[in-house]
Amino acid sequence: MNGEASLAFRDALPTLAAALWLAGVLVAAGLLHLPFRIRARSSGAGPGARFLDGLLYPAWVLTLGRVAVSADLLGTETRDAPVLAAWTLFWGLVLGIKAVDETARFLYTRRARAFPVPPLLHRGLLAVLYAVAALAVLRMTLDVDITPLLATSAVLTMVLGFALQGVLGNLLSGMSMSLVKTVKVGDLIGVGDLEGIVVHTNWRETILRTRDDDYVHVPNNTLASEPVTNFSDPDNLHRFSLDVGASYSDAPDEVLEALVEAARESGTALDHPAPRAHIVSYADFGINYRLHFWSREYWRKAHVPGEVARHVWYKFKRRGIEIPFPMSDQLLNDFMAVVYHQRRLPPSDTEAARMADVLRSSEFLTREEDGHRVPILDDEAVGELARRCRLVRYTKDEILVRQGDRGDSCFIVARGEIHGRVAYAEDGRTHHMDFVAGPGKVFGEMSLMTGAPRTATGTFAAETELLEIPGEAFGAFLARHEPVMEEIAATVAARNRANQEFLEKLREFDASSLEEHCDSGSILRRLRGLAGWGKRLLG
């Protein structure tokens, strides 16, 4: 028996020696390939470097093995061992599979197209092909009966399937999601109470980055078994809602219009689809409204409605729309009666004095003499006009007026600044001129004085307070101070003549209307019309 064992050992020795030597070939090939792998994984590597990286390792292994055989480094008996033939055939098949795979990936990369097979499924397919190649080599080269091996593999697979149900469930779920592309890296998704951006997927889990910059590892089986909301597919358009209440004393049409304007001017809501608002219910303390608007910034969902809500407050405040708080009907009616009574009261002495200071320091009712601004009204007249005006506040990104709109009021900057933009035609093209009106500057006086359309669009970069001079207030003032109309008309006409060359470029004016706006007589007739309107208001 000992002799037979020794003989068997001597027969197996060449195969064992070849196997050990070829294991060394794997290590040597890995060391030779290492510089190419590092270069291919660098940030500046192109598709060519990645193509070579995919092919070089099996090529190194195959080449080193064949060199050793041809150089008779293993000895004659070891060189002729069947394992060497199996080795050559297996790595030749691996090289062929990698060549087809890397060529396909290279072509897709050169054409700037995404590879159609997801990474997880791609790795699984390669593993299956390598396993099939190994079984084929065992059967064809080493004459191994693989039927028992397949049967054993089936039993082993069943046992492992029961033992690793969760792991296999995640693996199969990940492969199915990769195949149907339920989620992709970069998608913003929601699953259960969790929302985040997909930053990585693998065979077991999907990693999400939340708005708090936390990284959450979600098992693929969870994503496959629960409803998933993909906020990025087919696009990132999302509808937001904002609930706002208003008092019963405010007309619903005015409230709805103010809500839509606030959304449009917020800088976060899209124009298309257009914002819209509707009445939700009649509550005990007021009417509830709901504003719908669309945005592509769902990632900032905690901030986007807040931006619109901020604009709503300013819009409501200027229009006198009250946002109620819970109270009984009787208390609400008494409160609103007091509020509306206070609205009709003239401004306090302190507020009137401040508005008068704004008027006196502005360009509105002054003319330039010897490099200085000289008022054309005395302090008493300025104070009387100030009591007919009002201070209004705007927030950033709101639109004061649009170029080409009709208007019968003007504004003086009390605090902050107006950013103006004028569109004009020159050389057959449309150009834009931007300017900034700071404290004391007047905006929109041409529309008030001459009835012309707005010549500029006004917006705000930050909260700004303006003194608004309505047409009826200015008319009532002129009705009591008719002697100043000629001086005001002459001052306005002189300003327009100084800007006549530029005004000719504006599409809002033709030759006849521009001549009328630069003529003091025409402006005087406009002011007398306002004065007549003011007399009727005064009764």
What is the domain-level CATH number for residue 203? 2.30.30.60
229, two tokens: 């909301």
366, two tokens: 């002054």
**pLDDT at res. 14:** 55
> From CA 73, how far away is CA 51, in angstroms rounded?
32
> From CA 463, how far away is CA 313, in angstroms rounded?
12
Nearest to 40 by CA among 57, 53, 58, 30: 53
Asked whether residue 2 is domain-assigned, the answer is no
321 touches 255 (CB < 8 A): yes
383, two tokens: 């104070």
Q: Which of 214, 230, 246 is the last residue of a domain?
A: 230
Count of domains observed in the chain? 4
Is 202 in a helix, a strand, or coil? Answer: coil
Same domain, 350 and 335: no
Which secondary structure element, helix H or strand E, spans residue 175, and what is its range? helix 165-180
Strands 287-295 and 276-282: antiparallel
> From CA 176, how far away is CA 168, in angstroms rounded?
12
365 touches 382 (CB < 8 A): yes
Q: Which of 314, 341, 368 is the last residue of a domain?
A: 341
Same domain, 396 and 483: yes
Contacts of 534 (CB under 8 A, 6+ apart): 472, 474, 475, 476, 477, 478, 479, 480
Same domain, 34 and 182: no
59, two tokens: 């090529």
Burial class (CB in 10 A: 0-12, 13-18, 19+), 78: buried
Same domain, 139 and 154: yes
Same domain, 41 and 183: no
Same domain, 208 and 311: no
Asked whether residue 29 is domain-assigned, the answer is yes
Same domain, 201 and 277: no
- In the block, tokens 């509808």 appear at 239
Range of the domain at 213: 173-230
435, two tokens: 């300017």
Q: CATH number of the domain that 454 lies in?
A: 2.60.120.10
Q: Give 313-319's long-range contacts (Cβ < 8 A, gap of 24+).
A: 314/262, 314/393, 314/394, 314/395, 314/398, 315/258, 315/259, 315/261, 315/262, 315/398, 316/246, 316/258, 317/393, 318/392, 318/393, 318/394, 319/254, 319/258
122, two tokens: 């791609």
Same domain, 323 and 196: no
Asked whether residue 5 is domain-assigned, the answer is no
Nearest to 531 by CA among 472, 486, 491, 450: 472
336-374: pLDDT as tens digits = 665 555 555 567 788 888 999 998 888 887 777 777 777
Asked whether residue 52 is domain-assigned, the answer is yes
> From CA 285, how far away is CA 325, in angstroms rounded?
7
Whether the upstream peptide bond of residue 273 has omega within 30° of 0, thus cis, is: yes
Same domain, 301 and 359: no
> From CA 441, how far away is CA 454, in angstroms rounded?
16
The DSSP call for residue 452 is P
142 touches 86 (CB < 8 A): yes
Asked whether residue 8 is domain-assigned, the answer is no
489-508: pLDDT as tens digits = 887 888 788 777 777 778 77
Q: Which of 163, 195, 219 is the last residue of a domain?
A: 163
202, two tokens: 């693998």
Is 439 in a helix, a strand, or coil? Answer: coil
Q: CATH number of the domain that 274 lies in?
A: 3.30.70.100
Q: Give 481-489's long-range contacts (Cβ < 8 A, gap of 24+).
A: 481/377, 481/381, 481/384, 482/531, 484/376, 484/377, 484/381, 485/524, 485/527, 485/528, 485/531, 486/520, 486/524, 487/376, 488/365, 488/376, 488/449, 488/527, 489/449, 489/520, 489/521, 489/523, 489/524, 489/527
Nearest to 78 by CA among 65, 90, 89, 91: 65
Same domain, 142 and 265: no
83, two tokens: 């394992």
**pLDDT at res. 5:** 47
Strands 366-369 and 442-443: unpaired
- Output the tens digit of pLDDT for each of the chain's 539 residues: 445 545 444 455 555 655 666 666 666 666 666 676 666 666 556 666 666 666 666 776 667 666 665 545 455 444 455 666 777 777 777 777 777 777 777 777 777 766 666 666 667 677 777 777 777 777 777 666 666 655 555 555 555 444 445 545 555 555 566 655 677 888 998 888 899 999 987 767 789 999 889 999 988 777 777 788 888 888 889 999 999 999 988 989 999 999 999 999 998 899 999 999 999 999 877 899 999 999 999 888 889 999 999 999 999 999 999 988 765 556 556 656 655 555 555 677 888 889 999 988 888 877 777 777 777 778 888 888 888 899 999 988 899 999 989 888 999 999 999 999 999 888 878 889 999 999 999 999 888 888 888 989 999 999 999 999 998 888 888 888 888 888 888 878 887 887 777 777 787 777 677 778 788 888 888 888 888 877 776 66
- In the block, tokens 């990936």 appear at 105
> From CA 395, how far away is CA 20, in angstroms rounded?
78
Asked whether residue 168 is domain-assigned, the answer is no
Asked whether residue 9 is domain-assigned, the answer is no
List strand residue ranges (DSSP E) for 47-204, in order: 188-191, 194-201
Same domain, 388 and 373: yes
Fill in the amino acid letter for 20.
L
**pLDDT at res. 185:** 84
> From CA 136, how far away is CA 130, in angstroms rounded?
10
> From CA 215, how far away is CA 126, in angstroms rounded?
30
Side-chain-side CA neighbours of 521 within 13 Å: the count stands at 1
Same domain, 190 and 304: no
Rg of the chain taking only CA atoms, in angstroms? 41
**pLDDT at res. 410:** 92
Asked whether residue 127 is domain-assigned, the answer is yes
What pTM was estimated for this model as a whole?
A: 0.58
